[in-house]
Amino acid sequence: MDLPDLIEGRLIKRYKRFLADIRLPDGTEVTAHCPNTGSMKNCADPGSRVWIRDVQSVKRKLRYRWELVEVEGQYLACINTGLANHLVKESIQSGFIVPLSGYSDIQVERPYGDERSRIDLLLTKPGRPDCYVEVKNVTLLNGAGKGFFPDAVTARGRKHLRELMAVAKAGGRAVLFFNVAHTGIEQLAPAWDIDPEYAATLSEAVASGVEVMAYRSAISIDAIQVGEAIPFNLATADQAGYSVRKIRTA
């Protein structure tokens, strides 16, 4: 996916989740929309080099949208979570994501499940079980090459896991796809320290037949695309230093 011409700046601060003040090279300060509902831990440090897009739309309250951030002075992360579904869909259609190839149709945001959810991507083909793909964007790097999800407590994420478990138990194919939008992440694991309930539910989902895939994006200021698969390590609560008695998965 090609990115439009981006404008470089320096992050002053991110606040109220959806707002970011940014200083441009000429000293001008602008407020940009931050299209990321997570904590953006380690991706929103004041002074970081960032890139924003001039959306050029009279319908938007803010002229600019934050797209990329440089982390630790060497890695690029895409903080626009709205791009993840498009990137994954594009890569499936091209046949790049081999484990998800061979389907004849892709539907987006299809309603499903007892908890009234919408699946990000529904892959179908006559004669094959439907494949439900839930896409999650990952930007939390914490340690050399180590990525974690989620970066904030997510009740919504747990609901999505329950829906995927129901699909798998009913004989369908259920996939949790981690779009790792950070060039410094080389392996991925659940963030037990941030949301142990999500991590425990994820462990249950894997045991129930939900497939987990993690692919790291190739990112530049000109383009972003799904790249190589990386290892996903499903650590146990004890391995992560947590007592199972502390975790409830209701």
| 146 φ/ψ sector (left φ>0, alpha ψ -120 to 50, else beta) | beta
Question: Is residue 45 over pLDDT 70?
Answer: yes
Every domain of the chain and the residues it spans = 7-78, 81-246
Note the pLDDT of residue 5: 92
The answer for residues whose C-beta is within 8 angstroms of residue 78's C-beta and 6 or more apart is 67, 68, 137, 139, 181, 182, 217, 219, 224
The pTM of this model reads 0.92
- Domain 7-78 CATH (choose: 3.40.50.10470, 2.40.50.580, 1.10.3720.10, 2.40.50.100): 2.40.50.580
Q: Distance of CA 14 to CAs 44, 53, 200, Å? A: 7, 16, 30
The continuous run of DSSP H or E covering 189 comes out as strand 187-190
Type of residue numbered 97: I
Question: Is residue 58 over pLDDT 80?
Answer: no
Phi then psi for residue 140, to 5 deg, are -90, 110
CATH number, domain 81-246: 3.40.1350.60
Note the pLDDT of residue 86: 96
- CA separation for the pair 49, 27 (Å, rounded): 14
